Amino acid sequence: MQTLLAIAIKAALEAGAEILKVYETNFNVETKDDNSPLTQADKNANAIINKYLKTTEIPIISEENRQLDFSERKGWTRCWIVDPLDGTKEFIKRNGEFTVNIALIDNSNPVLGVIYVPVSKELYFTSEDGKSSKKITLTSEEISVEEILEKAEIIKPSAINSEVKIVGSRSHLNEDTKNFISEIEKESKVEIVSKGSSLKFCLVAEGLAHIYPRYAPTMEWDTAAGHAICKAVGVTVIDQTTGKPMQYNKPNLLNNYFVVKA
């Protein structure tokens, strides 16, 4: 696991550096078949991450790879799940709230996660045993993994005191989410914390928010790394259809609605 974590961190940092190169140009935006945006940064980051992860001989599910049918995936006990650029809309808006997401799945459960924020150079990752998560703000992507592991600090969720901090997306706050929030408001004072991409998971994991309800569509690559980081600090990510922790490498890679809770 130590080797796999090191490979995932290196892949995320190199992909992040490549994303920033595109970010600083007048990039073009394509539209994919599902109407979601795609940039050269997504493609370049995906190529870098695949190059690193292929050395592990563990199969890869990436948003930007061709999706394999479940008949080909069902025998996989382990796989990587990757979003090379999570928050392409945030990238296009140039607000800095986009991430590189890399997760390792073992028997449908996330066991290792890395999230890198190229603009702020914040790196979140699970420990190799999956029992804690850490954060470090880098000065450069050239830093060694050894130094990262040595200097990163453990993050922890926070207890709810007088106010419940609920994290919402800048891009989606629908009726179901509003209803969820109004139920909590009957009992407590609520503050809405806005964030883009998988940073919403990180906010709960590091104690800057308490709950992240997601009553809108997401794919497995949007959530796997954030789920791993939350799980390692004791934060639950519960599928609202099954009432159980979210599962990965499902027949359909679309997630059900879920709630992340400290």
pLDDT (tens place) for every residue of the chain, 262 residues total: 999 999 999 999 999 999 999 999 999 999 999 889 999 999 999 999 999 999 999 999 999 999 999 999 999 999 999 999 999 999 999 999 999 999 999 999 999 999 999 999 999 999 999 999 999 999 999 999 999 999 999 999 999 888 999 998 655 678 999 899 999 999 999 999 998 899 999 999 999 999 999 999 999 999 999 999 999 999 999 999 999 999 999 999 999 999 999 9
Of 102, 138, 89, 147, nearest to 118 (Cα)?
Answer: 138
Of 77, 104, 150, 119, nearest to 5 (Cα)?
Answer: 104
Structure tokens given for 82: 């990757």
In order of 3, 58, 79, 174, 190, the CA distances from 227 in angstroms are 21, 20, 15, 22, 23
What does the CA dihedral 140, 142, 147, 151 come to, rounded to 10 degrees? 10
* Other Cβ atoms within 10 Å of 141 Cβ, number: 18
Of 86, 101, 98, nearest to 53 (Cα)?
Answer: 101
